[in-house]
Amino acid sequence: MTTTARASAIVLFLFFAGVPGASEPAVRDVFEQAQSAASPAESIRILEKGLPDSGEWRFLYLMEITRQYGNLDDWSSALTAVNRITPDMISPEHADRYAYLLALARENTGDAGAAEQTYHDRIFGSEAREPLLYLGYLRLSSAGAEKTLARMDAMLPDLRKTDPDSWLLSRYLGGLVAVREGQWAFAADLFSLVLDGPERAPEEYLPWASFYHGWSLYRTGTWEKAYGALSLYLEKFPDHERVWQASTAAAFCAMQTGRDPLRHADRAVSRAPTPRDRAEGLLFKASILLDRGDHAGAATLLLSVADGTATSGLTVFSPRARFMLADAAFSRRDFAEAEKHWLAVYRDFSDDPLAEEALFRAGEQWYLQDRADRAVQLFTRYRQNHPNGKYTDLVLKNGGEALRTQGKTDLAILWWESFITRFPKSRLMPRVLNDLVSAYRDSGDYAAALRMARTYANDYPREAEADRIAGEIETLELLNRGAAPDTAAVAVEYRRLGGAETGEGRSKALVLARIYLADAGRHAEGRRILEEVTATLPRNTAMLSRTDRAVYAGAEMLLGNHLRETGDFSAASRAFLSAGTLFAPIDGERAAEALYGAVDSFLRTDRRGDAEKALETMRSSWPRSVWTQRAARLLGAE
């Protein structure tokens, strides 16, 4: 019997087991005759025929008529009958009973909202002492479990002794309400009372109470207790309808507590009630296999979800499975395979939210690997298909860098100009402004370069200082006044200022090194200048001024990029680590960018352990940096 039916039977018996004494014997006789009638229909006929015009007996007649219609399951007529009762007929001693019967009739005629409000108004608007009112309210309510039970316990402090069945049912129903409203800790406590209290709970409560006890503990993140409760549920009720859900939760708890999750994950898959649930379970199992390094096993599961063979057709998880295949391939540095799966997501599931990200990720991975040609192709496709897309800012920034790497400076400028127009508040703006200054200068547009450099210095003074934009502005002013773009003057100035042995000389060295490194025929000279600067870096950098720190960090960064481009990854990683250490106190984003260079260089020399240590530092110091996110993707650690 359901809790609704059980409660209805209780009230219809208790409310009319007896009636008050009456001074009108005939009215009482008719009432008793109706109660002993052969059928509810006959009882209703007798009551309607003898219905008093007013007074308490009219109230009792109408309540009995309502009850009998309930026995006939004719709740529409029951509601009509109870609505014939006027407020003046209801005495305080009958108010609880009337409210319950009215709510029951409203619920059974499809107006659960009105029924819930009826319960609420009686419980919280008066001193309601009828347990069935609280039980009825808890059956329908979706919030306020703790408040309702506190009210019930205050009004009925001895209920656990006088009516343990109703008390236990109130804890069970209260637990369900707590689940609906997400009050997981309170729900766990209530179901614990149902399962472990001295009262013997009806068998019909136990499977759900056991499931929700474990599930609530799981939702609170108390993994050890949740694992124990879920395991007990799975042992006692192996055929219950929520076994698949509990198995998934138990597998997750097993992972959190150092146990083997696979047997639970396997059961979640085998007991999944729908293809959608089976697909979700397979993805979870695949993620476990990926964590263990079983890429082949994971790929088999993911492919079966992606193409629908494991689920008798495609599901909402098919694009996610294909996306996971791409991520796994990227983690293995199989970039061609990763692109294949990302573009399959974009092609086959174009309406899925993952499709746009898949196209972006396909292009971004080539950008991260310095494959500018393919990166530009995919970024261009993204811009065409998603002109206002979620990743447009990164596409414009990174695509501009890739274009410039290809020597397409004019196109790079157009992409970056679009960026600064569309994303004026972006935290990536300093990097784009710095790149634009350089690109304008390389294209010979010194006026635009000077304008952009001044904007950079004015809007982002700290970042501009780290990039030595003041020196760049000085050079651009000379060039803009017609001076030949010859490096000789800069080289002379560098030596005049004392070379790498003085602070001013080192600042000028960065300008000179950038000029040399931009000229393919003078890379060696640029490297020599940078090595002259870094050779003067003191072993103890704690006393360096902010300016000196920025200069040394910029030199190490330039040197690291040059060494990486020439294939000297070991030396590059050392330069990037030094740059990261120097930038850390003054520019977190540049520090994260430097450590990203170190991660990439370590991976290119099979030093994965060192790469993971660098990523750990990035996550602890700059968790929101785009460079930290990129490094995580490079390591497959997202």
115: domain CATH number?
1.25.40.10
Chain-centre distance for alpha carbon 364: 23
Whether the Cβ atoms of residue 432 and residue 463 lie closer than 8 Å to each other: no
Which of 57-71, 475-489, 581-595 is least confident? 475-489
What is the pTM (predicted TM-score) of this model?
Answer: 0.66
Q: How far is CA 37 from the centre of its chain?
A: 62
Compute the distance between CA of residue 297 and CA of residue 290 in angstroms, rounded to an integer. 8
Give a yes or no: residue 71 inside a domain: yes
- Domain assignment of residue 98, yes or no: yes
End residue of a domain, out of 123, 140, 157: 140
CB atoms within 10 A of CB 356: 18
Q: Which residues contact 136 (CB under 8 A, 6 or more apart)?
A: 7, 100, 103, 104, 107, 115, 119
- Is residue 511 in some structural domain? no
Q: Are 181 and 172 in contact (CB under 8 A)?
A: no
Cα–Cα distance for residue pair 224/96, rounded to 1 Å? 44
Identify the pLDDT of residue 474. Answer: 79
- Going by pLDDT thresholds of 50, 70 and 90, the confidence category of residue 522 is confident
What is the chain's Cα-based Rg?
38
| pLDDT tens digits along 375-396 | 999 999 999 999 999 999 999 9
pLDDT at res. 5:
42
pLDDT at residue 515, rounded to an integer: 84
Among candidate residues 488, 493, 487, 594, the one with its CA nearest the CA of residue 550: 594
Mean pLDDT of 544-555: 93
Over residues 7-22, the pLDDT tens digits come to 444 344 344 444 444 4
Q: In CATH, what number is assigned to the domain containing residue 624?
A: 1.25.40
Count, residues in the chain: 638
555 lies in which domain range?
A: 545-638
198 pLDDT band, cuts 50/70/90, is confident
Where does residue 294 fall: left (phi above 0), alpha (psi -120 to 50 degrees), or beta otherwise? beta
Mean pLDDT of the chain: 91
Residue 109 counted as domain residue: yes
Q: Confidence class of residue 486 from pLDDT cuts 50, 70 and 90?
A: low
Domain for residue 481, yes or no? no
How is residue 177 written in tokens? Answer: 């309400």
DSSP single-letter state for residue 486: -
* Residue-level pLDDT at 209: 97
User: How far is residue 234's CA from residue 214's CA, in Å, rounded to a whole number?
Assistant: 10
Judge whether residue 487 has pLDDT over 90.
no
How many angstroms separate the CA atoms of 310 and 295, rounded?
Answer: 18
Nearest C-alpha neighbor of 389 from the set 422, 361, 356? 356
116 part of a folded domain: yes
Q: What is the pLDDT of residues 125-166, one digit of tens each?
A: 999 999 999 999 999 999 999 999 999 999 999 999 999 999
Q: What pLDDT score does 118 carry?
A: 96
pLDDT at 483: 56
Contact 215, 248 (CB under 8 A): no
CB atoms within 10 A of CB 147: 12
Q: What is the mean pLDDT of residues 529-558?
A: 93
Place of tokens 């695509």: 399
Q: What is the per-residue pLDDT across 491-521, written as a single tens digit (0 to 9) for each? A: 657 777 888 899 899 998 898 888 888 878 7
**Cα–Cα distance list, 87 to 78, 232, 288 (Å):** 17, 52, 64
Provide the pLDDT for residue 19.
46
Single residue among 140, 164, 197 that ends a domain in this structure? 140
Q: What is the pLDDT of residue 278?
A: 96
**Mean predicted confidence (pLDDT) in 591-619:** 94
Q: What is the pLDDT of residue 477?
A: 82
CA neighbours within 13 Å on the CB side: how many for 436?
28
Among 91, 123, 140, identify where a domain stops: 140
Query: Strands (DSSP E) along 61-102, which ranges?
Result: none
Establish if 446 belongs to a structural domain. no
Residue 86 lies in a domain: yes
Domains in the chain, number: 2
